[in-house]
A and B are shown apart, each in its own frame.
With several copies, the nearest count.
Chain A
Amino acid sequence: MKDDLIYLDYAASTPVDPRVAELLLDCHRTRFANPSSNHAAGRKSRASIEHAAGQLSALLNVDPKTLIWTSGATESDNLAIAGGARYRAHRGKHLVTMPTEHKAVTDVFHMLEKQGFEVTWLNPADNGLLDPADFAAALRADTQLVSIMYVNNETGVMQDIPAIGAICRERDILFHVDAAQAVGKIPIDLQELPVDLLSLTGHKFYGPKGIGALYIADRPGCRVEPILFGGGQQRRIRPGTLPADLIAGLGLAAEIASSRIDADLDHLTDLRHALWAGIDEVDGVLVNGDLDAGFPGILSVSVDNVDGESLLLELEPICVATGSACNALSQEPSYVLRALGRSDLLAQSAIRFSFGRPTRREDVEFAARRYGEAVARLRSLAPEVTT
């Protein structure tokens, strides 16, 4: 990245850890063979994949056999939700999710609605949180699959996954968690957590891009139908030549995360505190989500009387997101923030700051200062009354 850019968009994507980058480079020379090939070179690739499965399963406390490699969280979400719903369709066709999920979740549910499934969309409170009691009330005898994300990508809000999962377990409902923003960042122990399907992606925790995984619990009734068809790789759940290099990189990223997850969390908490201390001084600023129930690596704020796109440009060379990174180029106000009760105007002014391991305290202090200046300048350009 150019030195004068200040990157505060770690929730959109993280840089590759230098050790992971080095491993990838080494794999390009020594582990390039197809891991399905039954010769010495293929076995080396296979061994790398097995090692990586061990590293990732240690991070999540699962059996390596429960992990299916995918191209990223989008594919994992599709496989879990479409594959899980179809696998259980003979038992019932009612599904439950929230409108504040990532598009990789909501768009799969929209597709399933067109195919005859019935979806209940549960709204969060204004702080973004789902009340487990409301959740329990929405379940029916024919509910077969629930998908609730761990850390929200726009606000950082963390749902009560243990409580929601316990309710699903009681009723034998498949429970999928999109943990793209959580894995490698907050401790996740899947022996403790009642989760059946969990999506993750390498590029959100300093691993490679283009590689992800789906955890599929090894318990009765917990299966997915494939959504891609081809060779016999990965027990026919997901075909295609496995990219041994990317998988090795994801494994190493998982191992690095295991070793520093608490220190990382402390660092992020300090940064968010410093950032919010500076931004809180700007007139008319509101936190989107909930500071207490929020992952500390994300701070999303809205502000009166400022256009979000202009704010983003005015903030350069600081790199932050408006709305979701995945639709930053669209002009629509974020549907996630609308679901939290924000007006269109407030939603479109939202700026998401997200930080990571390399972020320094002076970066967020600078960002807070620039935020105040940018808001002031844009307000000075605007006609007096806009609301």
Chain B
Amino acid sequence: MSSDPYSALVRDYFAHTAHAGDLEDAVVAEIAERGVHLRLAATVDNGTIQALRFRAWGCPHVIAACEYFCAEHEGRPVGALGELHASNIMRNLSVPVEKTGRILVLEDVVRLLERAIRDESAPH
């Protein structure tokens, strides 16, 4: 057990949530389970993620992970969403193992978002 359950990165992302909020005309994905409620919104142009915003109800690790995820993925191709795994987030932010379940909710909502983007851009 480390004496501080929050790594410096978690503290920083939790304190500075530049990506909290909503987006107009965005693709949205939302999940509420395991004591976490997450909503992601993305605008996409030509296969590239233009903007990402989150809303989160949950513990500091979840909020920090959302901010981290949004900051990392703006400007990247939609395909990058598929590479996101809870385990990477946990490693990069030093999230304690007890929080695995909650970070998996983020992984799930990202999957949902990716699918929604592909559905939107598919020929109607």
Residues of chain A at the chain B interface (Cβ within 8 Å): 38, 43-44, 46-47, 50, 305, 307, 309-310, 313, 329, 331, 348, 378, 380-384, 386
Contacts and interface: CB of A to CB of B under 8 A. Distances in A.
Nearest to A348: B35
Interface stretch (B2-10, B72-80, B86-94, B115-123): B2-10
Most-contacted residue by chain B among A305, A307, A348 (CB, 10 A):
A307
Contact of A38 (B5, B30, B32): B5
Given A383-B30, A383-B37, A386-B32, A310 B3 contact: no
Interface in B29-44: 30, 32, 35, 37-39
A381 B17 contact: yes
Closest 8 A/B residue pairs (Cβ)? A46-B3, A47-B3, A382-B57, A383-B55, A309-B59, A383-B39, A43-B3, A313-B60
A50 B2 CA distance: 8
24 contacts: A43-B4, A44-B3, A46-B3, A307-B35, A307-B59, A309-B59, A310-B14, A310-B63, A313-B6, A313-B14, A313-B60, A348-B35, A378-B57, A381-B17, A381-B55, A381-B56, A381-B57, A382-B37, A383-B37, A383-B38, A383-B55, A383-B56, A384-B55, A386-B57
What secondary structure prevails in chain A residues at the interface with B? Answer: helix
A329 B59 CA distance: 12
B20 interface: yes
A381 B20 contact: yes
Interface in B18-64: 20, 30, 32, 35, 37-39, 55-60, 63
Contact of A50 (B3, B32, B39, B63): B3
B97 interface: no
A38 B37 CA distance: 23
Contacts of A381: 17, 20, 55-57, 63
B57 A305 contact: yes
A344 to B, nearest CB: 8
Given A46-B3, A381-B17, 11 more contacts: A50-B1, A307-B58, A331-B35, A331-B98, A381-B20, A382-B37, A382-B56, A383-B55, A383-B56, A384-B55, A386-B32
Contacts of A38: 5
Contacts of B4: 43
Nearest to B14: A313
Contacts of A310: 14, 58-60, 63
B28 to A, nearest CB: 10
A117 to B, nearest CB: 33
A305 B5 CA distance: 23
A337 B63 CA distance: 25
B1 A380 contact: no
Contact of A380 (B20, B37, B60, B98): B20
Contacts of A313: 6, 11, 14, 60
Contacts of A44: 3
Contacts of A329: 5
A211 B43 CA distance: 60
A264 to B, nearest CB: 31
Contacts of B6: 313
Interface in B85-113: 98
Nearest to B57: A382
Contacts of B1: 46, 50
Nearest to A345: B35
Contacts of B57: 305, 307, 378, 381-383, 386
Contacts of A307: 35, 57-59
Most-contacted residue by chain B among A44, A47, A381 (CB, 10 A):
A381
Nearest to A385: B37
Nearest to B36: A307
Contacts of B11: 313
A44 B3 CA distance: 7
B67 to A, nearest CB: 9
Nearest to A49: B3
A43 to B, nearest CB: 5
Contacts of B5: 38, 329
Contact of B55 (A47, A50, A348, A382): A382
A293 to B, nearest CB: 31
Contacts of B55: 381-384
A38 B61 CA distance: 14
